[in-house]
Structure 1
Amino acid sequence: MNRSQNLLRLQEESFDICIIGGGASGTGCALDAALRGYKVALIDRKDFSSETSSRSTKLIHGGVRYLEQAFRNLDLAQLKQVRHGLEERHIVLKNAPHLARPLALLTPVSSWLEGVYFSIGLRIYDLFAQQDSLPKSKWLSKKEVLNRMPTLDPKKLHSAVLYYDGQLDDARYCLALAQSAYREGTVLANYVSVVGFEKNEQGKLLTARVRDELERRELSIKAGLFINCTGPFSDEIRLMANPALPTRIRPSKGVHIVLPKEVLQSNDAMLIPKTSDGRVVFAIPFGNELLVGTTDTEYQEIDKEPVLNKTEVRFLLDTLTPFLATMPRPEQVKAGFGGLRPLLSADPRKATKRLTRDHEVEHDLGSNLVSLLGGKWTTYRLMAKDTLDEVEKLLGQENPCRTADHILVGGDGFTTESWKEISTSYGLEESVSRHLANRYGSQASKVADLIREDAALGEHLLPDYPFLKAEVVYAAREEMAVTPRDILARRMRLEIMDWAGTLSCLPTVAELMAPVLGWTQSTTRQMVEEYGTYLTNVRREAGI
Structure 2
Amino acid sequence: MNRTTSLARLQNEMFDIVIIGAGASGAGCALDAVLRGYKVALIDKKDFASETSSRSTKLIHGGVRYLEQAFKKLDFAQLKQVRHGLEERHIVLKNAPHLARPLALMTPVSSWFEGLYFKIGLSLYDTFATNDTLPKSKWLNKKEVLEKIPTLDRQKLHSGVLYYDGQLDDARYCLALAQSASENGAAVANYVQVTGFGKDENGKLNAVNATDALNGDALTIRAKLVINCTGPFSDHVRLMANAALSERLRPSKGVHLSLPYSTLNSEYAMLIPKTSDGRVVFAIPFEGATMIGTTDTECDEIAREPTLNHKEREYLAATLNPYLAKPIDPAQIRAGFGGLRPLLATDPTKSTKSLVRDHEVEIDEQSGLISLLGGKWTTYRLMAKDTLDEADKVLGQSRECKTADYILAGGENYGAGSWQDLNAQFGLAADIARHLVSKYGSRAHQVASLVQEDAQLAERLSPAYPYIRAEVVFTVRNEMVVTPRDFLARRIRLEITDWDETLNSLPVVADLMAHELGWTEAEKTRYADAYASEIGQFMADAR
Q: TM class by shorter-chain length?
A: over 0.9
Match of 1:453 in 2: 453
Match of 1:82 in 2: 82
Separation in structure 1 between the aligned mates of residue 148 and residue 449 of structure 2, nearest angstrom: 39
TM superposition score normalised by structure 1: 0.99
Cα deviation, 1:468-521, whole Å, max 9, x if unaligned, reads 000011111110000000000000110000001101111110000001111000
Percentage identity across paired residues of the two chains: 65
Q: Secondary structure at the match of 2:70?
A: helix
Match of 2:55 in 1: 55
Separation in structure 1 between the aligned mates of residue 498 and residue 423 of structure 2, nearest angstrom: 28
Cα deviation, 1:153-179, whole Å, max 9, x if unaligned, reads 111111000000000000000000000
Gaps of 5+ in 1: none
* Matched residue type, 2:444: A
Separation in structure 2 between the aligned mates of residue 277 and residue 48 of structure 1, nearest angstrom: 33
Separation in structure 2 between the aligned mates of residue 528 and residue 429 of structure 1, nearest angstrom: 29
Cα deviation, 1:379-424, whole Å, max 9, x if unaligned, reads 0000000000111111121111000000000001112111122223
* Matched residue type, 2:412: D
* Matched residue type, 1:246: S
1:219 positional shift: 1.1
Q: Secondary structure at the match of 2:140?
A: strand
Q: Is the 8 A contact 2:415 2:442 kept in 1?
A: no
Match of 1:2 in 2: 2
Separation in structure 1 between the aligned mates of residue 532 and residue 421 of structure 2, nearest angstrom: 38
Q: Secondary structure at the match of 1:471?
A: helix
Match of 1:194 in 2: 194
Match of 2:421 in 1: 421
Cα deviation, 1:203-235, whole Å, max 9, x if unaligned, reads 100111101000112110000000000000000
Separation in structure 2 between the aligned mates of residue 273 and residue 429 of structure 1, nearest angstrom: 39
- The count of residues paired between Structure 1 and Structure 2 equals 543
1:202 positional shift: 1.5
- Moved beyond 6 Å, runs of 4+: none
Output aligned runs, 1:480-519, within 5 Å: 480-519=480-519
Separation in structure 2 between the aligned mates of residue 428 and residue 418 of structure 1, nearest angstrom: 13
Match of 1:297 in 2: 297
Q: Is the 8 A contact 2:196 2:240 kept in 1?
A: yes
Separation in structure 1 between the aligned mates of residue 118 and residue 430 of structure 2, nearest angstrom: 40
Gaps of 5+ in 2: none
Cα deviation, 1:258-302, whole Å, max 9, x if unaligned, reads 000101111100000000111000000001100000000000111
Separation in structure 1 between the aligned mates of residue 279 and residue 432 of structure 2, nearest angstrom: 38
* Matched residue type, 1:54: S
Q: Secondary structure at the match of 2:291?
A: strand
Q: Secondary structure at the match of 1:249?
A: coil
* Matched residue type, 2:490: R
Separation in structure 2 between the aligned mates of residue 80 and residue 465 of structure 1, nearest angstrom: 41
Separation in structure 2 between the aligned mates of residue 158 and residue 346 of structure 1, nearest angstrom: 40
Separation in structure 1 between the aligned mates of residue 330 and residue 150 of structure 2, nearest angstrom: 21
* Matched residue type, 1:124: L
Match of 1:251 in 2: 251
Q: RMSD in angstroms over aligned alpha carbons? A: 0.7
Match of 1:95 in 2: 95
Separation in structure 1 between the aligned mates of residue 427 and residue 532 of structure 2, nearest angstrom: 36
Match of 1:357 in 2: 357
Q: Indicate whether 1:167 and 2:167 are aligned.
A: yes
Match of 1:266 in 2: 266
Match of 2:136 in 1: 136
Separation in structure 2 between the aligned mates of residue 41 and residue 439 of structure 1, nearest angstrom: 25
Q: Indicate whether 1:212 and 2:212 are aligned.
A: yes
Q: Indicate whether 1:181 and 2:181 are aligned.
A: yes
Separation in structure 2 between the aligned mates of residue 433 and residue 539 of structure 1, nearest angstrom: 31
Separation in structure 1 between the aligned mates of residue 423 and residue 289 of structure 2, nearest angstrom: 25
Output aligned runs, 1:19-418, within 5 Å: 19-418=19-418
Cα deviation, 1:222-263, whole Å, max 9, x if unaligned, reads 000000000000000000000011100100000000000101
* Matched residue type, 2:461: L
* Matched residue type, 1:402: K
* Matched residue type, 1:411: G
Q: Is the 8 A contact 2:346 2:355 kept in 1?
A: no
Cα deviation, 1:60-98, whole Å, max 9, x if unaligned, reads 000000000000000010000000000000000000000
